[in-house]
Amino acid sequence: MPGILICIAFIGLTIGCSKSSNDSGYGNTPPPPPTSSGNTISIGSMSYSPSSKTVAKGTVVKWTNDDGNTHTVSSDDGKTFDSGNIAAGNSYSYTASTPGTFKYHCKIHGTAMSGTLVVNP
């Protein structure tokens, strides 16, 4: 009886893993393309990287704090965008809805930590 159970289990595995002759491309599906990080700005080493980013109007820009310190992303004009405190490992997103050039800085670390967002129409 144990020999029969082993045989049935083997047959079940073989059938479950077989490829039909009509299944062309089995196992040949390419992986999906990587997610674009073209609109992401990294915060680290007391700077924004890249320090200048140009995007089209309507683009969502995401700042990710890859640093061990808390930072902000605050437009110099004090009204276009202000992330508030972004703790390490967190992020802030802003939809660039108004064309123009917007300089920004970290309110915690001052204008020595600054960047520029250019929004094209």
pLDDT tens profile 65-95: 999 999 999 999 999 999 999 999 999 999 9
Of the candidates 114, 121, 73, the one whose C-alpha atom is nearest the C-alpha of residue 96 is 121
Q: Which range marks the domain in which residue 69 is found?
A: 40-120
| Tens-digit pLDDT profile for residues 91-112 | 999 999 999 999 999 999 998 9
Largest CA distance in the chain: 82
pLDDT confidence of residue 38: 80
The answer for residues whose C-beta is within 8 angstroms of residue 26's C-beta and 6 or more apart is 19
* Model pLDDT, residue 8: 41
Percent of the chain topping pLDDT 90: 67
User: Does any domain span residue 21?
Assistant: no
Total tally of structural domains belonging to the chain:
1
For residue 25, being part of any structural domain is answered with no
Whether 24 shows a pLDDT value over 60: the answer reads no
Residue 102 lies in a domain: yes
CATH code, domain with 101:
2.60.40.420
The structure's pTM equals 0.69
Instruction: Tell me whether residue 27 is in a domain.
Output: no
Asked if residues 65 and 89 have their Cβ atoms less than 8 Å apart, the reply is yes
Mean pLDDT of the region 36-63: 93
Q: Is 6 helix (H, G, I), strand (E, B) or coil?
A: helix
Alpha carbons 2 and 29: distance in angstroms, whole number: 39
Residue 89 maps to a domain: yes
Q: Indicate whether 34 belongs to any domain.
A: no
The answer to whether residue 35 is domain-embedded is no
In a domain, 4, yes or no: no
Predicted confidence at residue 111, as pLDDT, reads 85
